[in-house]
């Protein structure tokens, strides 16, 4: 395998790892270093452990629900967490897969999630849009003019929260990575969505939501792909058929380009957003928090986003 960099495209081929005599599979442009399969894997795991410890994300006795789509991010997260937790904490890990009902895509990723949880000995729950909301995403999108990723994101979040609450989870771990997080900040800027941009996600807990943890937030998407490949975690999986139409797909190209030319930019984008939300916390009064009139989830309006979406469809 030729070394790849964290940015878009390949850098010069320099065949050996900076830490040992093995061939390099990765060039890290920010730290200007080459890593072999073993040292890349160790480095990714170290960053996950550092983040877990630095933010006090796991406590003894915790029951942690992990959102396992079956794609590479959540599969790598499950694989790393299952080992790290066994070694360091007395906590329980339970995988939850949400089946949105996307024909030609979901069957294969669910199969991949099932075989991974079996291999790791992790208990696994599968919940579906059909059983929770009485419809599949495919059907929703043919019957209503909705933005696929927005509608799916709202309903998937609700499905995962409900399933986590059903198993009395203390936290929900998701596979969001550094590239995803930088893209989300850029998307909020480009949409002019300052409410989201200034939102402090740590406040969600105070509002009655289950704590959410993102242990892969210091790892680039490309590093996760490589980690998955060299450790045999997932095979080739289909892309979500709706992903290509998304605004995020364009922003991903933009973010990858910026990261390639200015290594470390993604990290600075996220740090910038964190300072903004801290500043905003001092000056902006928090909105009033109520509970959804339909499902009882904490929310700022009369009903939560998921119930609002479903009610609009039934009108």
Taking CA atoms, 114 is separated from 42, 64, 175, in Å, by 26, 18, 17
Q: Which of 82, 243, 71 is nearest to 153 (CA)?
A: 243
Nearer to Zn ion, 92 or 162 (CB): 162
Instruction: For the CB of residue 36, give the shortest distance to Zn ion in the complex, in Å.
Output: 3
Closer to Zn ion by CB, 47 or 176: give it.
Answer: 47
**Residue among 41 and 179 whose Cβ is closer to Zn ion:** 41
> What is residue 205's three-state secondary structure?
helix
Minimal distance, residue 40 CB to Zn ion, in Å: 8
Q: How many Å from the N-terminal Cα to the C-terminal Cα in the chain? A: 54
Rounded to a whole number of angstroms, the minimum distance from the CB of residue 304 to Zn ion is 3
Closest approach of Zn ion to the CB of residue 145, in Å: 22
Of 26 and 105, CB closest to Zn ion: 26
Vertex 132: Cα angle to 207 and 139 (nearest 5): 120
Question: Shortest distance, CB of residue 156 to Zn ion, whole angstroms?
Answer: 14
- Fill in the DSSP letter of residue 106: H
How near is the Cβ of 159 to Zn ion at its closest, in Å?
12
Q: Which residues contact 154 (CB under 8 A, 6 or more apart)?
A: 305, 306, 309
Q: How far is the CB of 45 from Zn ion (least distance, A)?
A: 14
Q: Are residues 298 and 161 in contact, defined by beta-carbon separation less than 8 angstroms?
A: no
The nearer residue to Zn ion, 154 or 307, going by C-beta atoms, is 307
- Identify which of residues 41 and 82 has a Cβ nearer to Zn ion in the complex: 41
**Residues ≥6 apart with Cβ < 8 Å to 45:** 80, 84
Question: By C-beta, is 140 or 197 nearer to Zn ion?
Answer: 140
Residue closer to Zn ion, measured from CB, 39 or 157:
39
Nearest approach, Cβ of 281 to Zn ion (angstroms)? Answer: 26
Could you give the residue ranges of the DSSP H alpha helices within the chain? Answer: 37-54, 72-88, 106-120, 129-133, 137-143, 148-166, 178-191, 194-197, 221-230, 247-261, 265-283, 305-313
Residue 121 to residues 87, 114, 228, 314: CA-CA distances in angstroms?
15, 10, 18, 41
If we measure between CA atoms, which residue out of 59, 84, 73 comes closest to residue 113?
Answer: 73
CA separation for the pair 13, 302 (Å, rounded): 57
Q: Applying CB under 5 A, which residues contact Zn ion?
A: 17, 19-20, 22, 36, 39, 292, 294-295, 297, 304, 307
- Kindly state the tokens that stand for 102: 């996307």
Candidates 182, 200, 204, 186; CA nearest to 283 is 200
């Amino acid at each position: 395998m030729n070394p790849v960099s964290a940015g878009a495209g390949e850098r010069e081929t320099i065949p050996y790892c900076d830490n040992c005599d093995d061939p390099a599979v990765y060039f890290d442009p920010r730290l200007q270093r080459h890593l072999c399969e073993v040292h890349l894997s160790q480095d990714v795991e170290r960053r996950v452990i550092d983040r877990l410890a630095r933010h006090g994300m796991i406590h003894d006795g915790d029951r942690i629900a992990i959102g396992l789509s079956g794609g590479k991010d959540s599969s790598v997260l499950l694989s790393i967490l299952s080992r790290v937790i066994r070694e360091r904490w007395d906590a329980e890990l339970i995988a939850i897969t949400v089946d949105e009902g996307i024909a030609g895509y979901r069957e294969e990723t669910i199969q991949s999630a099932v075989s991974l949880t079996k291999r790791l000995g992790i208990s696994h729950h599968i919940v579906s849009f059909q059983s929770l909301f009485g419809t599949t995403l495919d059907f929703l999108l043919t019957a209503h003019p909705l933005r696929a990723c927005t509608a799916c994101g709202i309903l998937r979040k609700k499905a995962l929260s409900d399933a986590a609450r059903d198993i009395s989870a203390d936290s929900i771990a998701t596979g969001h990575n550094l590239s995803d997080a930088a893209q989300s900040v850029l998307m909020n800027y480009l949409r002019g969505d300052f409410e989201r941009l200034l939102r402090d996600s740590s406040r969600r807990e105070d509002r009655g939501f289950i704590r959410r943890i993102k242990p892969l937030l210091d790892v680039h998407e490309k590093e996760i792909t490589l980690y998955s490949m060299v450790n045999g975690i997932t095979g080739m999986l289909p892309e979500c058929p709706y992903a290509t139409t998304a605004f995020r797909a364009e922003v991903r190209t933009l973010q990858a380009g910026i990261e390639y030319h200015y290594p470390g930019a993604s990290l600075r984008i996220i740090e910038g957003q964190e300072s903004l939300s801290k500043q905003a916390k001092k000056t902006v009064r928090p909105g009033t928090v109520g509970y959804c009139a339909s499902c009882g989830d904490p929310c700022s309006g009369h009903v939560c986003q998921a119930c609002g979406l479903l009610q609009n469809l039934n009108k």
